[in-house]
Amino acid sequence: MEPFRSHRGIVAPLHRENIDTDQIIPKQHLKRIERTGFGTYLFSDWRYHPDGSPRHDFVLNQEHYRSATILVAGKNFGCGSSREHAAWALSEFGIRAIIAPSYADIFRINAGNNGLLLIEAAGTTVQRIAAQAQARPPYELTIDLENQTIADGDGLSERFEIEPFRRHRLLHGLDEIGMTLTHEAEIARFEAAVLRCTPSQGYSNLGTAT
Amino acid sequence: MYKPKTLFEKVWDSHVVLEREGEPTLLYIDLHLVHEVTSPQAFEGLRLANRTVRRPDLTFATIDHNIPTTSDERFHIKDQIAAQQIATLRRNCAGAGIPLFDVGSGRQGIVHVIGPELGLTQPGMTVVCGDSHTSTHGAFGALAFGVGTSEVEHVLATQCVSQKKPRSMRIGISGALPDGTSSKDLILEIIRRLGTDGGTGHVIEYAGEAIRGLTMEERMTMCNMSIECGARAGMVAPDETTFAYLDGRPYAPPGEAWDKAIARWQPLATDEGAHFDKDITIDASHLAPIVTWGTNPGMSAPITATVPGPDNAQDESERNAILAALDYMGLQPGTRIEDIALDRVFIGSCTNGRLEDLRSAAKVLRGYKVHNRVTVLVVPGSEAVKQAAEREGLDSIFTEAGAQWREPGCSMCLGMNPDILAPKQRCASTSNRNFEGRQGRGARTHLVSPAVAAAAAVAGHFVDVRGWEYRK
């Protein structure tokens, strides 16, 4: 996973709340067996006409936002389906960070597993950034994960909160499976301590609980 | 002193492998369900890192998302990319020694339908699957949640997930569901009240007298849609209804092991005095059939109401959301829900594709013909559901009414297979999501119960099924 330390990029505003993963990557594009090839289809129903030509009313098709790497959006971003294809599509398009008041749980985990930084910001901050990005594109922000700050070099400089462990993983691009496998002994001990059977014998672990 | 625990805490605590300050908890997984769409990249990741599947004996796979629902095409898929995804699952399962309930095996079906019906899903277990509707399995008092593909890979490699402990919420349901309403209406009502993010970060336990009175299939419908209010999982404490459902299922513990299992399952209830981070009570006795009018499952209204407008919004952002939804749905504020005319009806999905759902729809359709403008698709949730329905003659009721009786799969719930709507077509659907484009680009979805869907199929528009004249 590519580490995330500091990033400067153009902001694109999506003036919507509850942007679900069906919008981020519609289901007709989920049939690939690779992790790649999804960027072209990011927001495809909003981004293209049915004949495949670009819709000029969609922000990421507009001149100043085409190379955006930061999205700013409404609350509950990434709700709905668990499809990690949403995170893959965003990353492949070039999005490195999202700024929104809140995120859905599964999307939050998927983003973390793909080095995509989700910043949870107050509604007023989100509105301020969205308004700037709308009014004077290309509007750029610098996101410093090390110091947990976002700044535009023109008056906006705010600290954001992020769980320390999530920050640590992003900063170092750590592979979660590799981390868990260092606890092989604990997993094996757990399996041995609790009588674990095949399904037809009935799983049993509660007998030894607490 | 023993600290009273919630059902969720009991299941969580008994699966903790490792807990360290400031880090997510390493949680053991008892049952990992796998399907063709969210697993290929996980298996590929394992291969690239030279890792193997740790517990193929706790992993089970089926084919559901992509599979066509016509009897010839399900064995001869025309969509080459879908066919490749299915072939990849078969190869991955064979390579890792993972049991696969394949098409035509008699056990294939939607992953959240077959887990319970095979007795794989059991009380007190932790269950994951690369699908957000994994919350369904919580109806058995299991802790069950959807995960992304990187987590699928993580579980394949380690049989654990790394999770931050969610908060807890209890939704107590008082009263009993009135005639003509179902647990689908109840969960839609809950989502409307909570909003699509009201459950975020929480595991919900559904409790109270109305829940005790629900069948397992009705409880599954509720837990299934917990994700639609953002909850990590939904749970119902196991009871005699749960045990009776599981008894004799293929993977349920047999003989002596059954008695031991019951003894382990019985204490799985929230202790008196246990703390919930949120505690809500809803009275079900005035519940009406619910219909969604917008583009997320929280945008709904009782069937007797009218479509709301921007003036009903609390703030600017909600106002914009309502306007965008009305525009997409092609609806005017103030339109009576009952006046909304339909082109299609879909009865099926992991929410409402089980035997009782089909019975409920068939009961309404018996002796009627579907409206000549409406195309009706009935898709059983599994091969077993299909066989059981046919033994009862439900298929004849559907076909005599003019509905199409199809083969099992996810079908038009998400339209990854050929079952999709044309742009601007309007569908009454028993599924779980009415997002833009969910059932096809530009398609307009209204979420309803099976009974409401069936009544709408006959009338050509929504009708209050509470006044339905049932025919023999």
Cβ-Cβ contacts under 8 Å between A and B: the total is: 219
List of residues 6+ apart from B126 with CB closer than 8 A: B11, B15, B27, B28, B29, B30, B31, B142, B143, B144
CA angle B41, B45, B47 (to 5 degrees): 120
pLDDT at A205 over 50: no
Picking from B162, B251, B254, the nearest residue to A176 by CB comes out as: B162
* Confidence bin at A210 (pLDDT 50/70/90): very low
The C-alpha atoms of residue B339 and residue B337 are separated, in whole angstroms, by 5
In this prediction, residue A21 carries a pLDDT of 98
Residues B381 and B353: beta-carbon distance below 8 Å: yes
Q: In this predicted model, what pLDDT tens digit does every residue of A125-162 receive, in sequence order? A: 999 999 999 999 999 999 999 999 999 999 999 999 99
Do A168 and A209 reside in the same domain of the chain?
no
The nearest CA of chain A is from the CA of B176 a distance in Å of 30
Chosen CATH of B7-163 out of 3.40.47.10, 3.30.499.10, 3.30.565.10, 3.40.50.80: 3.30.499.10
Residue of B nearest to A114 (CA): B150
The C-alpha atoms of residue B150 and residue B156 are separated, in whole angstroms, by 10
The C-alpha atoms of residue B385 and residue A188 are separated, in whole angstroms, by 38
Looking at every residue in chain A, the average pLDDT score rounds to: 92
Q: What is the mean pLDDT of residues B52-57?
A: 96
Is A22 a domain residue?
yes
The nearest CA of chain A is from the CA of B291 a distance in Å of 19
Q: What is the mean pLDDT of residues B412-416?
A: 94
* Confidence bin at A204 (pLDDT 50/70/90): very low
Q: What are the chain A neighbours of B65 within 8 Å (beta carbons)? A: 30
Picking from B24, B81, B264, the nearest residue to A207 by CB comes out as: B264
Do A32 and A111 reside in the same domain of the chain?
yes
Residues B102 and B93: beta-carbon distance below 8 Å: no
pLDDT at A167 over 60: yes
* Contact: A186, B26; criterion CB under 8 Å: yes
Strand B126-129 with B143-146, pairing:
parallel
Q: In this predicted model, what pLDDT tens digit does every residue of B453-465 receive, in sequence order? A: 999 999 999 999 9
Do A112 and A22 reside in the same domain of the chain?
yes
Question: Cis before residue A138, ω within 30 degrees of 0?
Answer: yes
Domain B333-467 has CATH 3.20.20.140: no
In this prediction, residue A208 carries a pLDDT of 34
Q: Residue B322 carries which side chain, given as an amino acid letter?
A: I
Is A145 a domain residue?
yes
Looking at every residue in chain B, the average pLDDT score rounds to: 97
Do A93 and A187 reside in the same domain of the chain?
no
Q: For residue B291, which of B305, B309, B275 has the smallest C-alpha distance? A: B305
Q: Residue B191 carries which side chain, given as an amino acid letter?
A: I
Which residue intervals of chain B bear CATH 3.30.499.10?
Answer: 7-163, 333-467
In this prediction, residue A192 carries a pLDDT of 86
The C-alpha atoms of residue A34 and residue B438 are separated, in whole angstroms, by 23
* Confidence bin at A207 (pLDDT 50/70/90): very low
Do A36 and A56 reside in the same domain of the chain?
yes
Residue of B nearest to A28 (CA): B416
Do A165 and A184 reside in the same domain of the chain?
no
* Contact: A105, B230; criterion CB under 8 Å: yes
Structure tokens at B329: 């749905």
* Contact: A104, B130; criterion CB under 8 Å: no
Handedness of CA B383, B384, B385, B389 (dihedral sign): positive
* Contact: A203, B13; criterion CB under 8 Å: no
Is A1 a domain residue?
no
The C-alpha atoms of residue B301 and residue B188 are separated, in whole angstroms, by 9
The nearest CA of chain A is from the CA of B81 a distance in Å of 6
- Domains: count for chain A: 2
The nearest CA of chain B is from the CA of A73 a distance in Å of 11
Expressed as residue numbers, the domain containing A192 is 175-210
Q: In this predicted model, what pLDDT tens digit does every residue of B269-295 receive, in sequence order? A: 999 999 999 999 999 999 999 999 999
H helical segments located in B339-422: 349-352, 355-365, 383-391, 394-401
CA angle A144, A149, A152 (to 5 degrees): 90
Do A108 and A145 reside in the same domain of the chain?
yes
Rg of chain A over all Cα atoms, to the nearest angstrom: 20
